[in-house]
A and B are shown apart, each in its own frame.
Chain A
Amino acid sequence: EVQLVESGGGLVQPGGSLRLSCAASGFTFSSYEMNWVRQAPGKGLEWVSYISSSGSTIYYADSVKGRFTISRDNAKNSLYLQMNSLRAEDTAVYYCARDSVGIGGNYFDYWGQGTLVTVSS
Chain B
Amino acid sequence: QSVLTQPPSVSGAPGQRVTISCTGSSSNIGAGYDVHWYQQLPGTAPKLLIYGNSNRPSGVPDRFSGSKSGTSASLAITGLQAEDEADYYCQSYDSSLRVFGGGTKLTVL
Contact = CB atoms under 8 A, between A and B. Distances in A.
Contacts of B34: 102-105, 107
A27 interface: no
B103 interface: yes
Nearest to A106: B98
A107 B36 contact: yes
B36 A102 contact: yes
Interface stretch (B19-27, B43-51, B76-84): B43-51
A109 B51 contact: yes
Interface residues of A, number: 24
Chain B residues touching A, range? 20 to 34
B30 interface: no
The binding surface of chain A is classed by DSSP as: strand
B51 A95 contact: no
B65 interface: no
B52 A44 contact: no
Interface string B71-102: 00000000000000001010111001111111
A24 to B, nearest CB: 15
Given A95-B46, A105-B33, A111-B45, A100 B51 contact: yes
Interface of B: 2, 32-34, 36, 38, 40, 44-48, 51-53, 57, 87, 89, 91-93, 96-103
Interface of A: 35, 37, 44-47, 50, 59, 61, 95, 100, 102-114
The 7 A-B pairs with the shortest beta carbon distances in the complex, nearest first, are A104-B34, A107-B36, A44-B103, A47-B98, A111-B45, A105-B33, A45-B100
18 contacts: A44-B2, A44-B87, A44-B89, A45-B46, A45-B91, A45-B103, A61-B97, A95-B46, A104-B33, A104-B52, A105-B36, A105-B98, A107-B34, A107-B36, A107-B52, A107-B91, A108-B48, A113-B44
